[in-house]
Amino acid sequence: SLLTNKKIDRHFANYYMDNMPIKYFASLTSEMIAKHLSLATELDLKSVASNFSRSDKSGYWELSVCTKGKIGTFSKISGILSARSMNILSAQVYSGKDGLAINTFQVTQLENTSFEETELFPKIAKDFEDILSLKTDVQDIIKSRRLSIGGKLQGETLIPTTVIVNNEASENYTVLEVVFQDRLGSLYLLTKTFYELGMNIINAKISTDGKRGFDVFYVSNPDGTKIVDETKLTTIKSSIEKSLE
């Protein structure tokens, strides 16, 4: 039951259940949903709530980030993780009817890096709060870490970027499928482009297979409508391709 935590108000729990899409409940375990519900109760006091948990079976960290959805939030979170040398294996985005955003990431540390989780995770949580409360900019954090975001390695065979736009798969949203060469910061650069074009990410499924990234995004215009303007769709495709060169 989602109400095993006695501190969570039953009315809020019912509101949360009604607020989130069916796909959210079909995709996650009741234990994970309960964690998200607990995080959502913290948003009265701060702009973002997050939680790290270790998956011993899979060997990665599961990160959940709960925030009040604004265009660009997913991009900023991805940028922070890259700046902190975290490798994003996969990620999911779920949006509630009221704009609540639940972002889940499966991450590992980059090769040739090591970290003390008791030190790093509080720093990442502070980065989230500083960025999403507009105290600082994600680009400043990336610059301070002196990282080459999206940089191509010498001798690397590049997987060409492919962008498929599908306006038939969803009644309400435009679906973008993107295949690309996965490198540090690729997800940040990709979703930063969405932000710059004024696109809202409603749902997303991020996955990697070796150096190949395959991401699916359900997106909309800022007013929540499907993107149907052919000129804008052409601009979206070319901008995505350029961002991942």
Kindly report, residue by residue over 44-79, the tens digit of the pLDDT.
Answer: 888 999 999 887 777 788 999 999 878 889 999 999
Helices (H), 145-229: 186-196
Q: How many Å apart are CA 223 and CA 227, to the nearest integer?
A: 10
Integer Rg of the chain from CA? 18
Lowest mean pLDDT among 52-56, 91-95, 126-130, 176-180: 52-56
* CB within 8 Å of 52: residues ≥ 6 apart: 61, 62, 63, 117, 121, 124
Q: How far is CA 21 from the centre of its chain?
A: 17
- H or E element at residue 206: strand 200-209
Condensed to tens digits (0 to 9), the pLDDT of residues 135-165 reads 888 887 777 765 555 555 445 557 899 999 9
End-to-end CA distance of the chain: 47
Of 51, 45, 40, the C-alpha closest to 100 is 40
Burial 20-43 (b: 16+ CB within 10 A, else e): beeebeeebeeebbbbbbbbbbee
pLDDT confidence of residue 120: 83
Which residue bears the tokens 């070319």?
238
Model-level pTM? 0.83
